[in-house]
Amino acid sequence: MHILWFRRDLRLSDNESVARATAKAALVLPCFIIDPWFYEQPEVGKARVRFLFESLENLEKNLRSNSSQLYLFEGNSVDILQQLTQQLIQLGHRPKLYFNRDVQVEYGVSRDRAIANFYQQLNLECHIGLNNFLQTDDDRRDKWFDEYYTYVRQSPHLKPIHINTPQLSFNLPLVTFTELKQKYSHFYETKRVYFKGGETQAFSTLNSFLTKRFHGYHWKLSKPWLAQQKATSHLSPHLAFGTISVRTVYQSTKARARELADQPKAEFSLKAFRDRLRWHDSFTQRLYFHPEIAYTNRYPEFDEYYRPDELTSSQQELFHAWCEGLTGFPMVDASMRQLKTMGWMNFRMRAMCATFLTINCGISWHYGARHYMNYLVDGDLAIDNWQWQMQAGITNPLSETFRIYNPNKNIEEKDSDLRFIYHWIPKLLGYSLPEILQGKYIEHGLYPPPILDWSKTRLVNGKIVSDIRKRVRERLLANGGDELENAIAAKTTVEKYFESKDKQYKQFQEKEFLS
């Protein structure tokens, strides 16, 4: 009996554990465990839990079409799997467990280790596969780039045609999907669902993107209104829950690019998208080797400035205004309101709002990272918390400068027609771009004035962060060692990436492809 344990890989296509567990017509028990740990975390929001439940329901439907079913258990994952294994042994089976590695949180890592040790003690087999590319050998880090592309170009695991699942009864807490919706009805309370879960929906979203929506991706992805209107792929929550594999997306995109080989502009957009797929997986890889970055500063020098301490009364006011989209900075407020409503923002606005909270408001990234994870339907700990540290000025200390986004400048560059701002802040309808930049709306009391002086806080708090970065840089250069090598490698990677992007954009501009 093969136990097929699903986690963040809620799909049948290109799934290593599914392919191996169902081979040779073996008896397979597909299961998912609703572990209370997941939805009791302060960083888990309703949109993400609902997306998970929708994905499970679709997985059950797809399994049913293959003559199988999903056994939905509820309880502590380690306890459930131990009891399930023991009960199968009592029924005369010799279980073998299949699951794909999960590196998102330390709880998951320790949980998987406990399960693997339990199977080893019983002298039972346990196969741990890959959900997407992950390099587990520390000595091969410098080969990550090459090995990543080797992996995404390999033939995907075939989707099973038939899954041989017996009807069994267990003395364990099983849940039906009807009971699931009743018990967790508060996760279904959102008025509108912007991102629907499930493998079927993932493929539909990918196909619509590659059919038409990808055009202009390379410049539309930074425009919040266009991104909201699905100019970006909108696959991020599907990648987070594994309802589709990165390899499937990569190869489908590559195939579409070959079809459009005579359209350089379209091919360039698809290349930019594939670059983002690699960028996505690089964060998972970083978290695997540095799990501490999910909650601690990358460099200890920043512990004196960025701490998850209780906020002062003035900081609480700033944080509340930021969370509710009431800062008096229209681009920040529109983005934060979008986050609360849609559970999503495009990357540029996430970065802008992050620097506003950490640099201008002087509030630790820990608070912002948790707020994002409370609402993001595509919340990915590996990306979210590292990016918060990056926008807070912590990472890449060998560079003498770091970026602080100007909210007003972003209106001019990314929303000059004000469609994004008008949509999320209707009180500003009728004001022109110059009037909004000049703050004319403040005179009429329709919208709150700025909660801080952006230029002043940029200089004061920016200098504090810059000075700490200088101390980190001096220590690394003085001490050398692995930490310096990692910092140099990170700086080189970032510089090479942006140099290549700048060169590519310049070439296209010269050919007037961006007209």
Q: Would you say 273 is a known binding-site residue?
A: yes
Q: Would you say 55 is a known binding-site residue?
A: no
For helices 381-391 and 347-355, give the axis angle rounded to 10 degrees: 50
509 backbone dihedrals φ, ψ, rounded to 5°: -65, -40
Q: Would you say 381 is a known binding-site residue?
A: no
* 2-5 vs 96-100, strand pairing mode: parallel
Q: Would you say 233 is a known binding-site residue?
A: yes
* Residue 16 structure tokens: 């290593």
Asked if residues 233 and 205 have their Cβ atoms less than 8 Å apart, the reply is yes
Burial class (CB in 10 A: 0-12, 13-18, 19+), 426: exposed
How far apart, in whole angstroms, are the C-alpha atoms of residue 90 and residue 96?
14
309 backbone dihedrals φ, ψ, rounded to 5°: -75, 165
SS3 174: strand
Cβ of 13: how many Cβ atoms within 10 Å?
Answer: 20
Residues 6 or more apart in contact with residue 397 via CB below 8 angstroms: 299, 469, 472, 473, 476, 487
For the chain, report the end-to-end CA distance as a whole number of angstroms.
Answer: 60
- Nearest residue to 323 (alpha-carbon basis) of 311, 338, 307: 338
Q: What's 67's DSSP letter?
A: T
How far apart, in whole angstroms, are the C-alpha atoms of residue 159 and residue 119?
27
Q: Would you say 378 is a known binding-site residue?
A: yes
* Residue 130 structure tokens: 């890959």
Torsion of CA 360, 363, 369, 373, to 10 degrees: -100
Q: Would you say 379 is a known binding-site residue?
A: yes
111, 134, 463, 500 from 108: Cα distances, Å? 5, 16, 38, 37
Residues 6 or more apart in contact with residue 209 via CB below 8 angstroms: 230, 233, 234, 235
Residues 6 or more apart in contact with residue 470 via CB below 8 angstroms: 400
How far apart, in whole angstroms, are the C-alpha atoms of residue 115 and residue 35?
14
Q: Would you say 236 is a known binding-site residue?
A: yes
- Nearest residue to 269 (alpha-carbon basis) of 304, 218, 228, 227: 218
Helix residue ranges per DSSP H, 290-325: 313-324
Question: CB-hemisphere CA count at 13 Å for 184?
Answer: 24
The separation between CA 144 and the C-alpha centre of its own chain, rounded to angstroms, equals: 20
Q: Would you say 380 is a known binding-site residue?
A: yes
Residues 6 or more apart in contact with residue 27 via CB below 8 angstroms: 1, 2, 93, 164, 165, 166
Can you say which residues are annotated as belonging to the binding site for FAD? 217, 232-236, 273, 378-380
Can you say which residues are annotated as belonging to the binding site? 217, 232-236, 273, 378-380
